[in-house]
């Protein structure tokens, strides 16, 4: 098939756009990029020190678009309350939807309700059910805070953000960059198709190793999720080993 050449008008528009980008880059002062790097570092240091005493904790991920009354919302409230009463601080993304449900359930329980909020131009705002809230400008600092602070991850149904956080955790565990922690998918009807695709396409084509999909568990009932987390740490121990501490230090 013949490749269509861009018109002269399109070439001119592209040239002007490239020059505009170049001029805006030249407008940066020598210290601006360095200052941006320092902002990233200061955000990371602040979050690390703030979350350091928060142990043990479980992070709950899920959609910002789920409203109170939906079965996923109410299930998350129940799960977070059970985790909180069992002695786990509960960490969510700090916003609406499933994040709010996680904070709401934890806030009603015995342990801390924590929100790691992200500054977005739309959709995200902090919810009212938080004992501690941290606002992040940079996504990668926020994702790292979730992983470093949590003894288990629970993924409720969600969209791209939830999948991003799930894959981030799976990659770190798969590659040995952090200790193996329980990664639990709640609602088998929602997650089943994804797991089937992973086994057929990723494992079937040797893009992941046999057993990598088993880094995740599918559990529907809130009490069963709590029991699975306790079972994992009764076998492994709550305190990380020296080797695991070294891994976590290098995340």
Domain 56-249 has CATH 3.40.50.450: yes
Instruction: Please give the model's pTM, rounded to 2 decimal places.
Output: 0.82
Question: If pLDDT is split at 50, 70 and 90, which confidence band does 69 have?
Answer: very high
Looking at residue 21, its pLDDT comes to 53
Rounded average pLDDT over 45-73 = 93
**Angle separating helix axes 71-85 and 222-236, nearest 10 degrees:** 40
Domain boundaries, the chain: 56-249
Confidence of residue 55 (pLDDT cuts 50, 70, 90): confident
* Lowest pLDDT segment from 93-107, 150-164, 236-250: 236-250
Contact partners, residue 83, CB within 8 Å, separation at least 6: 58, 90, 105, 106, 109, 111, 225, 226, 229
Higher confidence at residue 92 or residue 7?
A: 92
State the average pLDDT over residues 150-167: 96
pLDDT tens-digit profile of 181-229? 999 999 999 999 999 999 999 999 999 999 999 999 999 999 999 999 9
For 97-116, the pLDDT digits (tens) are 999 999 999 999 999 999 99
- pLDDT per position as a tens digit, 6-33: 677 776 776 666 665 555 555 666 677 7
Residue 117 makes CB contacts below 8 A (sequence gap 6+) with 93, 94, 95, 124, 125, 126, 133, 134, 135, 136
């Amino acid at each position: 098939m013949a490749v269509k050449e861009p018109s002269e008008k399109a070439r001119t528009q592209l040239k002007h756009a490239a020059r505009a980008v170049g001029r805006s880059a030249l407008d940066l002062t020598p210290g601006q990029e360095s200052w941006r790097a320092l902002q990233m570092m200061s955000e990371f240091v602040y979050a690390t020190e703030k979350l350091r005493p928060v142990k043990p904790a479980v992070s709950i991920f899920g959609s910002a678009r789920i409203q109170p009354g939906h079965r996923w919302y109410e299930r998350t409230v129940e799960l977070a309350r059970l985790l909180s009463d069992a002695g786990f601080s509960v960490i969510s993304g700090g916003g609406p939807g499933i994040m709010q449900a996680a904070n709401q359930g934890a806030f009603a329980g015995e342990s801390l309700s924590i929100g790691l909020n992200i500054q977005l131009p739309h959709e995200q705002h902090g919810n009212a059910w938080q004992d501690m809230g941290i606002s992040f400008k940079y996504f990668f600092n926020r994702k790292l805070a979730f992983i470093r602070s949590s003894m288990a991850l629970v993924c409720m149904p969600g969209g791209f953000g939830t999948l991003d956080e799930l894959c981030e955790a799976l990659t770190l565990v798969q590659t040995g960059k952090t200790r193996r922690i329980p990664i639990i998918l709640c609602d088998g009807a929602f997650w089943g198709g994804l797991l089937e695709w992973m086994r057929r396409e990723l494992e079937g084509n040797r893009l992941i190793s046999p057993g990598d999909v088993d880094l995740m568990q599918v559990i529907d009932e809130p009490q069963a999720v709590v029991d699975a987390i306790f079972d994992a740490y009764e076998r492994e121990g709550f305190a990380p080993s020296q080797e695991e501490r070294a891994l976590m230090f290098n995340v």
